[in-house]
Amino acid sequence: MVTTDVAVKFTLNGIPMERDVPPNWTLLRFLRDGLGFTGTKCGCEIGECGACTVIFNGEAVNACLVLAPQIDGASIWTIEGVASSGRKLHPIQQAFVECDAVHCGFCSPGMVMSTVALLLHNRIPSNAVLKESLAGNLCRCTGYLQIIEAVRKAAESMDDMHLEKFRR
Amino acid sequence: MKEQDTINPSSLRQALAAKARPNLVVVAGGTDILVQLHDRVDRPWPKLLVLDGIKALGKITLHDDFVTIGPNVTFSEIESSPIIGKYAPQLAQAASVAGSVQIRNRATIGGNVANASPAGDLIPPLYVLGATLELLSVRTKRSMPIEKFFVGPGKTVLKSNELITAIRISKVKRIGFFLRLGTRQALAISKVSVAAALMIKSGIILDVKIALGAVAPTVIRAGVAEELLRGNRLDAKLIDHAAEAASKEARPIDDIRSVAAYRKEMVGILLKRGLTKILESM
Ligand SMILES: Cc1cc2nc3c(=O)[nH]c(=O)nc-3n(C[C@H](O)[C@H](O)[C@H](O)COP(=O)(O)OP(=O)(O)OC[C@H]3O[C@@H](n4cnc5c(N)ncnc54)[C@H](O)[C@@H]3O)c2cc1C
């Protein structure tokens, strides 16, 4: 029996890492079961729900549809890396709290990561662009109005410097 | 024997050499293949050949007479490319409505073509643009019009040692559109789609290609509707005739996504919508 793990080098939330990953693991499984980063949620595992959204080289992707061996050389940001340190929330997270955009909370990490990706590309998104950017994230509590309000609030009130690190 | 391995080449040469071995599954963006393999995660896995490390396959290049699109180019890259916007607006439109942001950031044009779904959204635009595929193996190189590539749902003429290495479209400027219907706007596979490319001079349609998605085992051309339009002046009555003809040409089935009767009717409606918009803009 041959089981060869694949050696990968990558950056997770700004921290360089080197690991051997099972070839048939997805990035989602690697984050949760390999590294214990359980903030990235496991929903449908087929790209439909967006609960596992992470930033991959500056773009939102579903971690369930990236193979772990494909992360070699990549920079990845997960919800654990969004707040800078300690107890202070990132302005996007703060906006979600203030707008009551968190109901059961399961979709929230993915929603926040999609918001980061949106604002990285478009600091003043129109309503149409905003909705389209979140169309790949499902909220089963259907708190969409509050979520949209939170994204708008974050877009309007946040300083650019809060997005800088995600570009790296 | 359980064999797990992943080949992660950084050059096309290495990839083709690897592809000479049998039973190797190619992964580009993974948005089709990982869904297909999802249920097998804890069972023996195929050997995987991961293509996304090959930078040379991820470029859009402008030549004198044609544009080359590498198979690894993503939907997001197609959507935002000024070259594609200029020479293949149908393709840009299709890329921008498929999946979700997350899917478009990973899904590739090569994967869309190789997956050979009759509902693959980039395929009807590639038909009407007269796209040519380049297929390479370690020792052979062949090109073919995209329409010759598909045999049936998920079935193509690609040999086990070959890769799609380029997609070429001519730089002839045509106007056109891509329209589709799904259950919702995001994250819904097309129930029916229509793409068209037209050359119109002084109101007369000099040339036209129409392709229909999700209404036959492969994407098909609407040859009868094209024939009706070619050489004639675009007006409301002609549009109605062409829409009716295209509707008849569709050979859809009932399946989980829709029913045949609806699909047939919507082919005509979508073609009419697209052509009417062109008429209004003239
Ligand atoms: C949630 C979701 C929504 C989706 N929505 C849409 C949609 O709206 N419209 C649409 O058209 N599709 C949609 N898809 C399907 C999929 O995203 C597309 O078909 C995509 O283009 C596949 O590309 P990929 O790079 O991810 O392919 P992969 O999964 O990597 O590969 C697909 C197939 O192509 C083969 N392959 C890939 N590259 C090559 C190559 N260069 N040479 C030979 N063979 C190759 C692979 O072996 C595999 O068989 C969706 C998928 C998901 C999960």
pLDDT tens digits, A17-34: 999 999 889 999 999 999
For residues B113 and B167, the answer to whether their CB atoms sit within 8 Å is yes
The reply to whether B160 and B262 lie within a common domain is no
Asked if residue B236 has pLDDT above 60, the reply is yes
- Going A35 to A36 to A40 to A43, the CA torsion angle's sign is positive
The reply to whether A76 and A102 lie within a common domain is no
d(CA A90, CA A158): 9
Among A32, A53, A81, residue at a domain's last position: A81
The reply to whether A73 and A102 lie within a common domain is no
Q: What was the pLDDT predicted at A24? A: 87
d(CA B61, CA B130): 17
Asked if residue B188 has pLDDT above 70, the reply is yes
Residue A1 and residue B2: Cβ atoms within 8 Å? yes
Question: What pLDDT digit, counting tens, does each position of B243-264 carry?
Answer: 999 999 999 988 888 889 999 9
Phi, psi of B211 (to 5 degrees): -125, 145
Q: What was the pLDDT predicted at B3? A: 43
Helix (H) or strand (E) holding A61: strand A59-62
What does the mean pLDDT of chain B come to?
94
The reply to whether A135 and A109 lie within a common domain is yes
Q: Is residue A17 part of a domain?
A: yes
Residue B117 Cα to ligand 1 middle (Å): 9
The reply to whether B74 and B160 lie within a common domain is yes
CATH number for the domain that contains residue B136: 3.30.465.10
Cβ–ligand 1 contact at B186 (below 6 Å): no
The reply to whether B8 and B34 lie within a common domain is yes
Question: What pLDDT digit, counting tens, does each position of B26-49 carry?
Answer: 999 999 999 998 877 666 778 899
d(CA B68, CA B166): 6
- The residue whose CB lies within 8 Å of the most ligand 1 atoms, and thus the one to mutate among B100, B103, B117, B122, is B103
Cβ–ligand 1 contact at B29 (below 6 Å): yes
Torsion from C-alpha of A25, A30, A33, A37, nearest 10 degrees: -160
Mean pLDDT check: name the lowest of A39-53, A95-109, B35-49: B35-49
Question: What percent of chain A is predicted at pLDDT more than 70?
Answer: 98
Residue type, B137: S
Residue B4 and residue A59: Cβ atoms within 8 Å? no
The reply to whether B26 and B63 lie within a common domain is no
User: Which chain B residues are closer than 8 Å to A42 by Cβ?
Assistant: none
The reply to whether B226 and B200 lie within a common domain is yes
Smallest CA–CA distance from A59 into chain B, residue: B105
pLDDT band at B7 (very low <50, low <70, confident <90, very high): confident
The reply to whether B60 and B155 lie within a common domain is yes
Q: Is residue A100 part of a domain?
A: yes
Query: Which residue, among A60, A29, A56, has the nearest Cα to A136 in the 3D structure?
Result: A60
Q: Residue A129: which domain range?
A: 91-167
Q: Is residue A96 part of a domain?
A: yes
Q: What was the pLDDT predicted at B23? A: 85
Among B12, B31, B50, residue at a domain's last position: B50
Q: What was the pLDDT predicted at B258? A: 87
Total domains in chain A come to 2
Cβ–ligand 1 contact at B26 (below 6 Å): yes
For residues B23 and B44, the answer to whether their CB atoms sit within 8 Å is no
The reply to whether A21 and A49 lie within a common domain is yes
Q: Residue B10: which domain range?
A: 3-50
Q: What was the pLDDT predicted at B4? A: 44
Residue A128 CA: distances (Å) to CA of A95, A133, B183 = 20, 9, 19
The reply to whether B95 and B151 lie within a common domain is yes
Q: At B205, list the tokens.
A: 């349609």
Q: What was the pLDDT predicted at A103? A: 94
Question: What pLDDT digit, counting tens, does each position of A143-165 carry?
Answer: 999 999 999 999 999 999 999 99
Q: What was the pLDDT predicted at B265? A: 94
Q: What was the pLDDT predicted at A77? A: 98
Smallest CA–CA distance from A4 into chain B, residue: B5
Q: What was the pLDDT predicted at B41? A: 62
Within 13 Å of residue B4, how many CA atoms lie on the same side as its CB?
16
Q: Is residue A61 part of a domain?
A: yes
Q: Is residue A10 part of a domain?
A: yes
The reply to whether B60 and B40 lie within a common domain is no
A58 touches chain B (CB under 8 A): no
Q: What was the pLDDT predicted at B194? A: 98
A50 touches chain B (CB under 8 A): yes
Look at B121 and A3; give whichever has higher pLDDT: B121
Residue B100 and residue A2: Cβ atoms within 8 Å? no
The reply to whether B213 and B269 lie within a common domain is yes
pLDDT band at B1 (very low <50, low <70, confident <90, very high): very low
Query: Which residue, among A55, A60, A69, has the nearest Cα to A27 in the 3D structure?
Result: A69
A47 touches chain B (CB under 8 A): yes
Q: What was the pLDDT predicted at A84? A: 86
Q: What was the pLDDT predicted at A1? A: 37
d(CA A70, CA B26): 13
Cβ–ligand 1 contact at B71 (below 6 Å): yes
**Contacts of residue B117, Cβ cutoff 8 Å, sequence gap at least 6:** B123, B153, B154, B189
The reply to whether B183 and B137 lie within a common domain is no
d(CA A98, CA A111): 15
A128 touches chain B (CB under 8 A): no
A64 touches chain B (CB under 8 A): yes
Task: Over range A124-138, report the average pLDDT.
Answer: 96
Most A CBs within 10 A among B42, B100, B189, hence the mutation to make, goes to B100
The reply to whether A163 and A125 lie within a common domain is yes
Q: What was the pLDDT predicted at B39? A: 73
Among A39, A63, A81, residue at a domain's last position: A81
Task: Over range B4-26, report the average pLDDT.
Answer: 88
Q: Is residue A138 part of a domain?
A: yes
Residue B136 CA: distances (Å) to CA of A31, B18, B160, B167 = 36, 13, 11, 12
Q: What was the pLDDT predicted at B43? A: 67
Query: Which residue, among B220, B210, B205, has the nearest Cα to B250 in the 3D structure?
Result: B220
Q: What was the pLDDT predicted at B2? A: 39
Residue A156 Cα to ligand 1 middle (Å): 36
* H runs (alpha helix) in chain B: 12-19, 33-37, 75-80, 82-87, 89-97, 101-106, 109-115, 123-128, 223-229, 236-249, 260-280
Q: Is residue A86 part of a domain?
A: no
Q: Is residue A1 part of a domain?
A: no
Distance to chain B for A112, nearest Cα, Å: 13
CATH number for the domain that contains residue A66: 3.10.20.30
Most B CBs within 10 A among A67, A113, A120, hence the mutation to make, goes to A67
Residue A65 and residue B5: Cβ atoms within 8 Å? no
Residue B141 CA: distances (Å) to CA of A73, B69, B163, B177 = 31, 17, 10, 32
User: Which chain A residues are closer than 8 Å to B106 by Cβ?
Assistant: 61-62, 65-66
Question: What pLDDT digit, counting tens, does each position of B56-105 carry?
Answer: 999 999 999 999 999 999 999 999 999 999 999 999 999 999 999 999 99
For residues A72 and A10, the answer to whether their CB atoms sit within 8 Å is yes
The reply to whether B93 and B138 lie within a common domain is yes
- Say what the pTM is: 0.96
pLDDT band at A11 (very low <50, low <70, confident <90, very high): very high
Q: At B254, list the tokens.
A: 């009932």
Residue B102 and residue A53: Cβ atoms within 8 Å? yes
d(CA B174, CA B90): 10
B192 touches chain A (CB under 8 A): no
User: Which chain A residues are closer than 8 Å to B72 by Cβ?
Assistant: none
Among A24, A59, A81, residue at a domain's last position: A81
d(CA B13, CA B282): 49
The reply to whether B190 and B238 lie within a common domain is yes
Task: Over range B105-117, report the average pLDDT.
Answer: 98
pLDDT band at A79 (very low <50, low <70, confident <90, very high): very high
The reply to whether A148 and A95 lie within a common domain is yes
Total domains in chain B come to 3
Q: Enter the ipTM.
A: 0.96
A23: nearest CB among B6, B38, B187 = B6
